[in-house]
């Protein structure tokens, strides 16, 4: 029995010793040991078969760094799977928290099985009859598929042909199963639309749902097991879909963001490759399944899904792509983050968003023999490397194809430990690099949430509250010129609406879509900045003592105003005549501050340092004074332990922006 760690060691050793392309077949055959004859049988079988011979070569040449489990792994876990199924049936395959707790309880019962795996290198395990059947079936499906006929041979080899969709899986007969299950039904008749056919096919599998991260450590090594359990993670559904669609001749891949730029965690999804384009889609059933090219462009904030910022997107491949530290024999494996030990991936960031190369001056002393540096993003209280760069002789490093509107930290990686290499910086949406460090500028911080973008879902109603609001100028108390109409939902920041040139005015009326006002702050701007001391002239009946009309323009976004406005409008006195250039609205956000918790404001100075600690208040917000405004900051709930969900934020454009 081979342990996973043993396979990974072999995998990492491969990554620094891949041969040149012209010798890769010999290299693979030499590494196959006693299994060499099985691989040679495949080559001999297709010797005079043209493309099929080339396909066989492709599979064998790229077999180094492939490994998987075998059926013994599944057999060993059968008692666990049977208990999982029993719990499923108890809850009619629904996934409430009670179900999840019972599923998580299987860890304790079967912990002695969860870390076992019968794994082997594919080079030493693949049999000729299996590979021949896989090659023949893939060519047959490719030929029958009316859409994939336009797929290039290179894309066929990468995204239809491979028997393995991810390392660790059992290489079984899923292709045959899916092919016979759907033969003649999908992708075989002209006159239809491939996207509609794909939706119809995946709709048949809508009962396979996300586990909500319950039982996340339970191994799922083949399609049959996933169908039996009926619940899993995004990665499980992605390789399942990849097996399903490729069995019918569709060129399909798995794309992933290794860590979000403005959220915690990571994500994986599927992508179809047709007509020289990539079409990304949600792996689980979703009525808005083709949304990713729309919401992952690093520009928008989607009204339904909120704001996503992606530092990198990679695509899993069957072929090997050793580069950077993984291809450098002078770098110790313990000095390479796990993401970059994986040679079976390519960077496809530019298919989703506009990228930029970023050159960083390294200000911290590098560890001995360091040859590479990494760019990391923050999530769950850790920095996650997402790109590598070579350290140049002048002490700089250039990171290729980075996503914008994201905070990054340059780091070294030594003996599996991250070490800061320079100060964090914000790569703005326009490509400007803003250094985030304590430069002596001080100010006050007022906060009511800790988790940034992840608060979007629970605040959807609040973010839509001002949709339909209108701002007009007043003369002698009478409406005159409409200044702007607020037609979009708000984001979790100060939302500015730039205004065309208009005559100067002193009084502004805000018409509301309902008789309820819920806002964090209303701000008015000229070309010299925010107008101070704006007065509210209308009556607002507050829904709580601390949320009166005086909070609307007090400069403290977390100190909110919520109340009833019978006339459905609020009048403002700017204190003088001003030519407005912008109006800003900060949304009302449900407070995450609790009276029974203590909070500390931290800022980054080579590490997280505490500035001030305070206890939660009944009003739902906390104020901290004399804060280093140009540093990277975070509000920590001291009651939360471990990999908690607090997000970082910065002071930007006279407001606080969650990253």
Classify 114 as helix, strand or coil.
helix
Give the pLDDT of residue 640. Answer: 94
pLDDT at 149 over 80: no
CA atoms within 13 A on the CB side of 498: 1
- Judge whether residue 5 has pLDDT over 70: no
For the segment 384-388, the average pLDDT, to the nearest whole number, is: 98
Interval 520-538 mean pLDDT:
95
Going by the DSSP 8-state scheme, the letter that residue 371 receives in this structure is: -
Within a 10 A sphere around the Cβ of 196, how many other Cβ atoms? 9
What is the average pLDDT value for the chain, to the nearest integer?
93
Between vectors from CA 643 to CA 639 and to CA 646, what angle results, nearest 5°? 65
Diameter of the chain measured on Cα atoms:
94
Long-range contacts (CB closer than 8 Å, 24 or more residues apart) made by 50-59: 51/139, 51/153, 52/135, 52/136, 52/139, 54/153, 54/157, 55/135, 55/138, 55/139, 55/157, 55/161, 56/131, 56/135, 57/25, 58/157, 58/161, 58/319, 59/131, 59/135, 59/161, 59/162, 59/163, 59/318
**Amino acid 2: pLDDT:** 36
Q: Name the band, by pLDDT with cuts 50, 70 and 90, for residue 13.
A: very low
Predicted confidence (pLDDT) at residue 581 exceeds the cutoff of 90: yes
Q: Which two tokens stand for residue 21?
A: 């392309």
Helices 194-203 and 234-247 pack at an angle, to 10 degrees, of 120
Mean pLDDT confidence for 15-26: 66
3-state helix, strand, coil in the chain (%, to 5): 30, 30, 40
Which tokens is 427 given? 């790569």
Q: Inform me whether the pLDDT recorded for 156 exceeds 90.
A: yes
Per residue in 422-446, pLDDT (tens digit) is 999 999 999 999 999 999 999 999 9
pLDDT class of 477 with cuts at 50, 70, 90: confident
Beta bridge partners of 409: 376
pLDDT the model gives residue 21:
53
Give the model confidence (pLDDT) of 80-119 as tens digits.
999 999 999 999 999 999 999 999 999 889 988 877 778 8
Structure tokens at 106: 């299987």
Lowest mean pLDDT among 115-119, 132-136, 568-572: 115-119
Contact of 433 with 385, CB cutoff 8 Å: no
Look at residues 243, 236, 84, 75 and name the one whose alpha carbon lies nearest to residue 171: 243
Strand partners, 657: 650
Band of residue 4 on the pLDDT scale cut at 50, 70, 90: very low
How far apart are the C-alpha atoms of 211 and 96, rounded to whole Å?
A: 10
Average pLDDT over residues 222-251: 97
Parallel, antiparallel, or unpaired for β 433-435 and 478-486? Answer: unpaired
pLDDT confidence of residue 12:
43
pLDDT of 411 over the 70 cut: yes
| Backbone torsions φ then ψ of 384, nearest 5 degrees | -115, 115
pLDDT of residue 151: 87
Helix (H) or strand (E) holding 18: none
Q: What is the pTM of this model?
A: 0.93
Q: pLDDT tier at 18 (50, 70, 90 boundaries)?
A: low
- Helix ranges (DSSP H) in 92-211: 97-104, 106-114, 128-144, 153-159, 174-182, 194-203
In this prediction, residue 650 carries a pLDDT of 94
Q: Looking at residues 569-596, what average pLDDT do you find?
A: 96
Residue 53 has pLDDT above 50, yes or no: yes
């Amino acid at each position: 029995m081979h342990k996973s760690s043993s396979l990974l060691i072999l995998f990492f050793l491969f990554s620094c010793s891949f041969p040149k392309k012209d010798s890769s077949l010999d290299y693979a055959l030499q590494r196959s040991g006693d299994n060499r004859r099985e691989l040679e049988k495949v080559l001999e079988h297709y010797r005079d078969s043209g493309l099929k011979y080339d396909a066989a070569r492709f599979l064998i040449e790229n077999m180094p760094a492939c490994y998987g489990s075998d059926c013994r792994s599944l057999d060993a876990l059968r008692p666990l799977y049977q208990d999982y199924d029993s719990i499923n049936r108890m809850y009619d395959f629904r996934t409430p928290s009670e179900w999840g707790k019972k599923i998580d309880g299987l860890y304790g019962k079967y912990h002695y099985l969860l870390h076992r795996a019968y794994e082997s290198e594919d080079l030493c395990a693949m049999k000729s009859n299996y590979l021949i059947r896989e090659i023949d079936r893939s060519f047959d499906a490719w030929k029958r598929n009316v859409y994939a006929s336009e797929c290039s041979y290179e894309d066929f080899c990468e995204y239809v042909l491979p028997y393995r969709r991810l390392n660790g899986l059992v290489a079984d007969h899923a292709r045959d199963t899916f092919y016979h299950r759907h033969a003649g039904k999908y992708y075989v008749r002209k006159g239809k639309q491939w996207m509609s056919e794909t939706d119809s096919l995946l709709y048949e599998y809508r009962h396979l749902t996300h586990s909500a991260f319950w039982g996340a450590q339970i191994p799922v090594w083949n399609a049959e097991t996933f169908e039996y359990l009926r619940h899993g993670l995004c990665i499980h559904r992605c390789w399942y879909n990849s097996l399903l669609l490729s069995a019918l001749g569709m060129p399909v891949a798995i794309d992933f963001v290794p860590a979000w730029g403005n959220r915690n965690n990571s994500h994986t999804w599927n992508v179809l490759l047709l007509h020289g384009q990539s079409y990304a889609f949600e792996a689980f059933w979703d009525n808005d399944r083709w949304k990713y090219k729309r919401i992952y462009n690093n520009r928008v904030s989607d009204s339904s899904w909120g704001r996503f910022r992606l530092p990198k997107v990679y695509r899993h491949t069957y072929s090997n792509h050793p580069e950077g530290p993984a291809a450098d024999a002078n770098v110790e494996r313990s000095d390479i983050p796990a993401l970059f030990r994986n040679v079976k991936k390519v960077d496809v960031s530019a298919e989703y968003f506009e990228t930029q190369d970023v050159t960083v001056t390294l200000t911290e002393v590098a560890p001995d023999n360091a040859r590479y540096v990494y760019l990391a993003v923050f999530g769950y209280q850790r920095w996650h490397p997402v790109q590598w760069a070579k350290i140049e002789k002048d002490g700089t490093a250039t990171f290729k194809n980075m996503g914008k509107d994201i905070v990054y930290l340059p780091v070294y990686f030594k003996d599996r430990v991250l070490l800061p290499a320079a100060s964090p910086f914000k790569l703005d949406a326009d490509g400007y690099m803003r250094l985030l460090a304590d430069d002596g500028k001080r100010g006050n911080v007022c906060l009511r949430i800790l988790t940034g973008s992840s608060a979007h879902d629970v605040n959807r109603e609040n973010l839509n509250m001002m949709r339909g609001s209108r701002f007009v100028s007043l003369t002698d108390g009478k409406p005159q010129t409409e200044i702007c109409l607020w037609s979009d939902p708000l984001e979790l920041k100060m939302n500015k609406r730039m205004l065309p040139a208009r005559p100067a005015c002193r009084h502004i009326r805000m018409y509301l879509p309902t008789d309820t006002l819920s806002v964090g702050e209303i701000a008015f701007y000229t070309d010299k900045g925010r107008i101070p001391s704006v007065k509210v002239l209308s009556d607002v009946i507050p829904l709580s003592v601390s949320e009166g009309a005086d909070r609307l323009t007090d400069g403290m976004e977390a100190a909110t105003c919520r109340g009833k406005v019978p006339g459905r409008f609020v009048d403002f006195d700017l204190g003088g005549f001003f030519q407005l250039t912008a109006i800003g609205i900060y949304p009302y956000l449900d407070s995450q501050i609790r009276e029974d918790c203590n909070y500390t404001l931290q800022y980054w100075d080579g590490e997280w340092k505490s500035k001030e600690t305070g206890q939660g208040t009944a009003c739902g917000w906390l104020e901290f004074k004399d804060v280093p405004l140009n540093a990277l900051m975070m509000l920590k709930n001291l009651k939360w332990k471990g990999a908690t969900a607090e997000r970082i934020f910065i002071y930007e454009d006279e407001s606080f922006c969650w990253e």
